[in-house]
Structure 1
Amino acid sequence: MNSKWLMPLVIAALLTACDDKPQPESGFAGLGNTADSYAQVTPGKVFSFPQDHGQHPGFRIEWWYITATLKDEAGQQFGVQWTLFRNALRPGQQTGSGWNDGTIWLGHSAATSSSGHYVAERYARGGVGQANVTSAPFSAWIDDWAFTSTAQTGDPLASMQLKASGKDFRYDLHLTSSKPLVLQGEQGYSQKSEAGQASYYYSQPFFDAKGSVVIEGKAYQVTGNAWLDREWSS
């Protein structure tokens, strides 16, 4: 199984286990339950940006997934990954204050180097100011981890800052792109199985990246390439 589908599957399983109400049958692994009362993915969606960079509360699950391959001046290779997952505890708009908000957030970050693999996770409940995604200006964040547009005008993805940290690593990268994003599948409708499970899915695979990676206290100035995947479904 593609590793990027594993974490949403774990989230859905945990949420189902914690809920004492009867649950509908699970759909495609990684997309959670496909209850009719959640918004459904159908062909023919017309994407609208920057609005679709933000969250879609009517759908059960979505994520912002960034990976980067990097090198320092000596040619040493590094990799980083940053993901923010949003999961709706109940159908419908999830807006609310405090514990009335029906959103769970999970952040996952990683860095790799010749010395090892380093990971960290963050969890948050919606409505308490700990995590959020906004479309104008575009910003996805949980605690002090962030994927935030620094573009003054035009495409928000033209200039982005990406940062995260864990026990033995941290990174701060500036991402730039002058090429358009890519609608995956059939104009952004990505079918996952013959049974019809699907997601809305687009990518920005053309980021140039530069910045710093710190591994076990040692800082490296790096450059390379990065890729954003965006998906949401029920």
Structure 2
Amino acid sequence: MVMVDATASRRAWLWACLASAAGAHAAPPPTEVPDPIRRGRPLVFPRDHGAHTGARIEWWYLTGSLWPATYTEAEAQTRGGLLGFQITFFRLKTGLAAADALPGRFAARQLLMAHAALTDVAEASHQHGQRLQRWNGADDAPPLARAQRGDAAVNVGRWRLWREVEDRWITEVDVPEAMHPRARAPGFALRCALTPTQPLLLQGAAGFSRKGPREEEASHYYSVPHLQAEGRLWRGAAVGDRLPETGQAVRGRVWLDHEWSDTLLAPNAAGWDWVGLHGWDGSALTAFRLRDRAPGAAPVWAGGSWRASARAAVRDFAPQEVRFEPLAEWVSPRTGARYPVRWRLHTPAGTHEIHALLDGQELDGAASTGTIYWEGLAEWRDAASGRVLGRGYLEMTGYVGRFSVG
């Protein structure tokens, strides 16, 4: 889950002003049909896999674990081949072209942004990169900056995510120079095909997910856990315009979130803690809380869901049913932020512990979304016995200032 406070950025304003001068007399893209976030609005597919450009903010979010295709998942953990990855595509409606204030076709009606990160558990390394493009909202825009409306297809430069007819999701990124906390390093590239093994999981009330005490502080939100990944990974050098056929064959287990909203963070919320976890038994656990700006105050909101298996009903969590208890912290040497990297998580599905598999998984997205956050591969354990139940991703925002985009 990634939640953003979508105020228009100064960067977008500059681009829009420059672009409108060049295209002021061209016909604007079609007016967006209003589709407000509302309880009871059914999610319809494949349409709702695509972009909802009338909503202020939206993201397609992939997290997962990968390992060499010649290994089993258990061998990867013991022999040093386990990797974690995150790829997130953001869309932000700027509002700068409303009411014909900026009528040109090239006005920055939308910003498209993307983050990618790769964690190597054995090497204790975490690399990440980012992309930012403006988009005028037109369906016939250049293919390197576009988000399709009728089905999932998002391009931010050469970074792409799309859905094939047979319901496979394909993603590829090329990070020619990845960032470490203190230095730049050779990058990585990844191309993966993601095949569902379970049905969609509608979060909240049939896809209407509350994120605050007011009804309008909500999103439409669904997840696809337990995606089976097969692909290729390139490490150590820039890949160029096209991904070559060579590279390391990998497979893995991936979680996909798609979420869109007009407003999410309550005024007194600083950020959130979130987990999306795959169980070895086919279960899927989601949990989140929004933290208050005041230190020590009760959470602004909390929630999540539990599905025991692919065919089981989804159990939606009420705010009072979820409690995050920090157990151990890591202090970022770059930002000084203190991130809890071990948690005890209390839910109606049981009491669990979440252990980061690498402490240093902080991502600096200041050059695109304007925020710094922690996003990393984590192990899911039973709190009483210590038995490992599965693996997933932990996300923590608002530890370096209040989280926002724009």
Report the TM-score range of the alignment, normalised by the length of the smaller protein: 0.7 to 0.9
Matched, 1:122 2:95: no
- Indicate how the Cα distance of structure 1 residues 18 and 101 shifts in structure 2: closer, same or farther if over 3 A, else same: closer
The higher relative CO (CA closer than 8 Å, separation ≥ 6) is in: 1
When normalised by structure 2's length, the TM-score is 0.46
* Superimposed CA distance per residue, residues 4-57 of structure 1 (whole angstroms, 9 cap, x where no aligned partner): 33xx34xx35627976xxxxxxxxxxxxxxxxxx86421001111111111112
Q: 2:254 aligns with which of 220, 223, 226?
A: 226
Moved over 6 A (4+): 16-19, 91-94
Alpha carbons 1:60, 1:233 under 8 Å: kept: yes
Structure 1 or 2, whichever has the larger Rg, is: 2
Structure-2 residue corresponding to 1:86 = 91
Q: Spell out the pairing of 1:114-153 with structure 2 (5 A cutoff).
A: 114-115=122-123, 116-127=125-136, 129=142, 130-136=144-150, 138-152=152-166
Find the aligned partners of 1:214 and 1:200 in 2 and give their Cα distance.
Answer: 35
| Structure 2 counterpart of 1:84, one-letter code | F
| Gap regions ≥5 residues in structure 2 | 14-33, 178-186, 238-245, 263-406
Establish whether residue 192 from structure 1 lines up as the match of residue 211 from structure 2.
yes
Q: Does 1:105 align with 2:133?
A: no
Query: How does the TM-score come out when normalised to structure 1?
Result: 0.77
1:83 alignment partner, SS class: strand
- Where do residues 63-74 of structure 1 align in structure 2 (5 Å cutoff)? 63-72=59-68, 73-74=70-71
Distance 1:71 1:97 in 2: 47
* Cross-structure match for 2:54: 58
Q: Distance in 2 between matches of 1:110 and 1:103?
A: 24
Aligned equivalents of 1:97, 1:144: Cα separation in 2: 25
C-alpha spacing 1:216/1:102, structure 2 compared with 1 (3 Å): same
Give the letter for the 1:171 counterpart. L
Residue identity (%): 28
Match of 1:204 in 2: 224
Structure 2 counterpart SS, 1:52 = helix
Coordinate RMSD, CA, aligned: 2.8
Deviations 1:122-168 (A, max 9, x none): 1111135232222445312211111122335xxxxx21211101121
What is the identity, as a one-letter code, of the residue corresponding to 1:138? A
Change (3 A) 1:97 1:164: farther
Compared with structure 1, are the counterparts of its residues 175 and 195 closer, same or farther at alpha carbon in structure 2 (3 Å cutoff)?
Answer: same
